[in-house]
Chains A and B, each alone.
Chain A
């Protein structure tokens, strides 16, 4: 067997890498397994992270089949803890790690097998952007990125060769507003609790995230100053919930939302004019032709990050394929694909190679779009001249104030949150 038969994936990938590589690939046989029997990786994550285009491209270039298992955020964690053999690759948020890693169901990833381990974005690897530390309140990814050894059930304090999650996407969240229905400047998280928007604001009914948005607002209003918003003491939780109940009784909130689509509907229908929101939800409102701004605020952003992890049970060919897929994921095409939806990828340099210069300038450098900006699926996102809300990568990620988190007092917090809902 001197030439690859069946799938010509490896050769096609080489085309993208350049002519010289292609000549090499033609002479070099593809790995035997690909030609014979493609590996299928069961990819567990929320539906938002599962782009059919990425699966298609991976199958084309690597000969690896990606079988998406779409569940909601909580179910991802539940599956990892209860059924680690039901998937081969998990894409989950860093803030879930303090729950997942102690369960012993995650397998540390060997940094030596990740080609671009040294190129990971600094905000994930060390909590810095352009050398400056961002806010580390909550579960900052660099604090939970490393394990002492492959099967460790606690985190290593310093960089090691064993990685918990290799980043897939991350972003900075802020408030979404309807500029057409609001006639003042919004510059602070405190606006979430502004009586002018009574009956027209909303927060998430996902306790761990909702309480941090509330904390951002209360701190901005000057009610309290937290030690760590992402890891409150019982007194801080009590105070926060008490203030939330007050606001609720005063009719501040129109509704709470718990999934992407609900937040889009609340905003698009005008039921709500200001609420905590996710970036793609803002895009979804805007593509309906309704003005919606992802408003940068003085106090900074609440950030989140998601990444690939391996289950304890993976080995052999599947494990090799998982590493191969992750290396491909970091090699640029997928990063560019996600960037064009407004997410940030793990390795910026490679994503840049797969983007047009005007796209890069719009998404990463905070510059006005020279041409119309299209989503990967061909929808028009912005017309020429538009500037991304919040500006450049460095401005947005550099202004992160806190990260999504699971608190030490999580259980107490959930109980108090239920009190808030019942009040």
Chain B
């Protein structure tokens, strides 16, 4: 039964692609590109566009403690920004939360960029053999072999009040009371996020660096450029697409994060994701949807601004 089905699917597939090939040969371009893009488009439609549309629709609905009802009201959005004008110059919860999340975004972006670029630079220019490059690259991915939660939680015994770092510092006489700010603090959040997401910078930057024509670097040197000049005038501009892609990864992930900020911040630090989660817990789906839409708009605005800096299509 399934064999027959397979065969049919196969022949149909063959026929379609044969026809497509013929068509494309005839006209140069025809249905083939669309067919090739179709599976991905379908996945996007079902798993991205439809849920997104549902979220947007629900964000205009009304709700009670036990039901949500179709409606068209901007009340949820009003509630998200409730008191924002009245409380000026103090920031309302929403702005304060976004500001805090944005702060983490920028700090973590700077940290991962510095680290990621350095690692990628080393891999691309200082490691000569491809084999060693591959091995080092795999080493970079080792942290990804365990789950994100485990990677985060393993910081806790290290940084805690009675953790390894504090014990070491006390026994070395650096401090006599344990440092409290190591855990459940902004520092802990930045550390964990940097740890989690640096690889997202390394990979695209490494990719960009590997595409740089080595003769350009030689030319720069021949023209009398110092190492620093070569870096800033040749390598970094050419690595821009990689840096940009990495930045988009890191910023979008950090802006939507609530698990890391929750665990490493001792749940005392707000994040947009956490607010959405709390609202979902209390079945305030329309309110959560409104928040999600606003977060999406904020992230898209950030990505749009980044894309303005570099014409990514041209550079790739």
Contact = CB atoms under 8 A, between A and B. Distances in A.
B160 A199 contact: no
Contacts of B100: 422
A58 B204 CA distance: 57
A357 to B, nearest CB: 42
B267 A422 contact: no
A182 B25 CA distance: 83
A414 B282 contact: yes
B82 interface: yes
B275 interface: yes
Interface residues of A, number: 36
Given A102-B66, A418-B275, A422-B100, A255 B280 contact: no
Contact of B267 (A81, A102, A258): A258
Given A418-B275, A422-B270, A100 B66 contact: yes
Contacts of B282: 74, 207-208, 410-411, 414
A406 interface: yes
Contacts of A417: 278
Nearest to A75: B281
A418 B278 contact: yes
B97 interface: yes
A201 to B, nearest CB: 12
B148 to A, nearest CB: 16
Contacts of A81: 66-67, 283
Contacts of A258: 262, 267
Contacts of B274: 421
B193 interface: no
Given A269-B160, A415-B82, A422-B100, A205 B280 contact: no
A103 interface: yes
Interface string A237-281: 000000000001000011111100000010001110000000000
A419 interface: yes
B161 interface: yes
Given A265-B156, A414-B278, A415-B82, A205 B162 contact: no
A414 B162 contact: no
Nearest to A205: B267
Interface string A52-92: 00000000000000000000001001100100000000000
B228 to A, nearest CB: 43
A254 B266 contact: yes
A423 B97 CA distance: 9
Contacts, number: 87
Interface string A203-228: 00111100000000000000000000
Contact of A248 (B79, B161, B268, B280): B268
A148 interface: no
B261 to A, nearest CB: 11
Contact of B66 (A99, A270, A271): A99
Interface string A391-422: 00000000000000010001100110111011
Contact of A256 (B160, B180, B268): B268
Contacts of A422: 93, 96-97, 100, 270, 275
Interface in B145-186: 156-157, 160-162, 180, 183-184
A115 to B, nearest CB: 31
B278 A207 contact: yes
B273 to A, nearest CB: 12
B183 A414 contact: no
A98 interface: yes
A260 to B, nearest CB: 15
Nearest to A72: B281
A265 B163 CA distance: 13
Given A207-B278, A418-B97, 15 more contacts: A74-B281, A74-B283, A99-B66, A102-B65, A199-B180, A207-B282, A208-B282, A256-B266, A256-B268, A269-B157, A406-B65, A417-B278, A421-B269, A421-B270, A422-B96
**Would you list the 7 A-B pairs with minimal beta carbon distance, nearest first?**
A255-B266, A422-B270, A256-B267, A74-B281, A103-B66, A419-B93, A99-B66
10 contacts: A103-B67, A253-B268, A255-B184, A255-B267, A415-B82, A418-B93, A418-B270, A421-B267, A421-B274, A422-B270
